[in-house]
Structure 1
Amino acid sequence: MSETPVAAPPAVNDDGTGPDGLPVDRRLPRTRISNAIDRVILRVGNAASWIWVLLIIGIITNVTLRYVFGRATVWLEELQLYFYAIGFIIGLSYALTWDRHVRVDALADRWSARTRAWVELLGMLFLLLPFSVAILVEAVPYVMTSIRLNEGSPAPGGLPYTWVLKSFIVWGFLLIFLAALSRTLRCTALLFERPRPL
């Protein structure tokens, strides 16, 4: 009598990724489409993580100018807000891909994998995906108007090109939509085996 071989758990690198460079998550299977989406989001997120270094440099520079040299710069303060806003909105999709988003773990930890997948699927289909689409529908004309007006800071000495910051509403929520789509496909792969799990 031969026994059915049991699949070995995926190898985990020091950074929490598997051999394919994607985050290891034993609860939901992966699909070809979700892998492609996750790779894009992880590349963008890894590149955007350098914005936090720039933010720290900006804060140190601003504090030094203000308290050591007695000079305040409006544009540098605004630049810090830009860095923070961009890092935060890009980080949302990154957190969703890594499964580090906020949820009620006190309940979720007691549920079976299928129950968790159902809750996540319904949350994606009825909350996150529609919300992302609604934001994108409203944000695109908002950003286009800002570009057309070549909008800048109303503060004296502030930064020009405010539309650059506003455009990250579109980019950020597009990434959030893609991350939610990837999680949705992984949930359906577990629950219905569609698309086919890898």
Structure 2
Amino acid sequence: MTVSDQGPQPNRRVSVSGADELIHHHTELPTTRISQWIDSVLTAIGKTASWLWLVVTGVIIWAVVGRYVFGQGSVLLEEVQWHLAGAGWLLGLAYTLVVDDHVRVDVIHERLSLRTQGWIEFFGLLLLLLPFLALAVYEMFPYAIRSWEIGETSQAPAGLSNRWVLKSVLALSFALILIAAVSRLLKVTALLFGFPRPIRVDAGNKKKEDAS
């Protein structure tokens, strides 16, 4: 089959773009003063945590050079790698909820009206996500405190001490996701019930945000 038999190429590009819109569809919720403040804090935490990946890369290079150039392996460096990688990933989870860039592929949801999407978000947050996160926070903080009380260390002889630090990051990450979920719930209630009072977004600023 020749290229001409396959149909015009522009149509293919349009279909790919349409599929991309389905995958990256966002529910356009209004914002409130409280959610705006919460989102700004969580965004700052998420962007700061992203720098940990640069540190992880440096530690990996250091460990590889030490092992293969100088013949000196290090259990300590290996554990530092996954501790830092785990912390960076965990602390960034709340940010993905703030910007609505978590995995969301639903060809039915994106075809519904904004208000219907809002009701789905409302019941999903209130009945599913928030109870799960509240339970996780309730369990994770005593888990981290217990690790600190017993002075938990790595099981490896030359591993890291203070294992409670990573467990504390785990508990903190769930708390941040819980806060991000509350912020999103406020946006949903602003859409559905007008409370808290939505903030009007300037059209020019909105275009700049969309372009970025």
Q: Under a length normalisation based on structure 2, what TM-score does the superposition of the two structures give?
A: 0.79
**Alignment map for 1:159-174 (pairs within 5 Å):** 159-174=160-175
Determine helix, strand or coil for the equivalent of 2:141: helix
Partner of 1:181: 182
* Structure 2 residue identity aligned to 1:147: W
Check if 1:192 corresponds to 2:188: no
In 1, the alpha carbon distance for the partners of 2:68 and 2:127 equals 50
Q: Alpha carbons of 1:26 and 1:128: their partners in 2 closer, same or farther (altered >3 Å)?
A: closer
| Structure 2 unmatched ranges of 5 or more | 1-25, 200-212
Distance 1:82 1:35 in 2: 31
1:61 to partner: Cα distance: 1.3
Percent identity at matched positions?
A: 47
Query: Which moves more between the two structures, 118-127 or 77-86?
Result: 118-127
Determine if the alignment matches structure 1 residue 88 to structure 2 residue 89.
yes
Aligned to 2:110: 109
**Which entry has the higher C-alpha Rg, 1 or 2?**
2
Q: CA deviation at 1:95?
A: 0.3
CA distance in structure 1 between the partners assigned to 2:157 and 2:108 by the alignment:
51
- Output the aligned Cα RMSD: 1.3
Counterparts of 1:115 and 1:71, CA distance in 2: 60
> 1:8 — aligned with what?
none
Tell whether the 8 Å contact from 2:75 to 2:159 is kept in structure 1 after alignment.
yes
Asked if 1:63 corresponds to 2:64, the answer is yes
Higher helix proportion (structure 1 or 2): 2
1:51 aligns with 2:64: no
Question: Structure 1 unaligned runs (5+)?
Answer: 1-24
Q: Residues of 2 paired with 1:65 and 1:118: CA distance?
A: 55
Q: Is the 8 A contact 2:47 2:92 kept in 1?
A: no
CA deviation profile, 1:123-158 (whole Å, cap 9, x unmatched):
111111111110111111111111111111110110
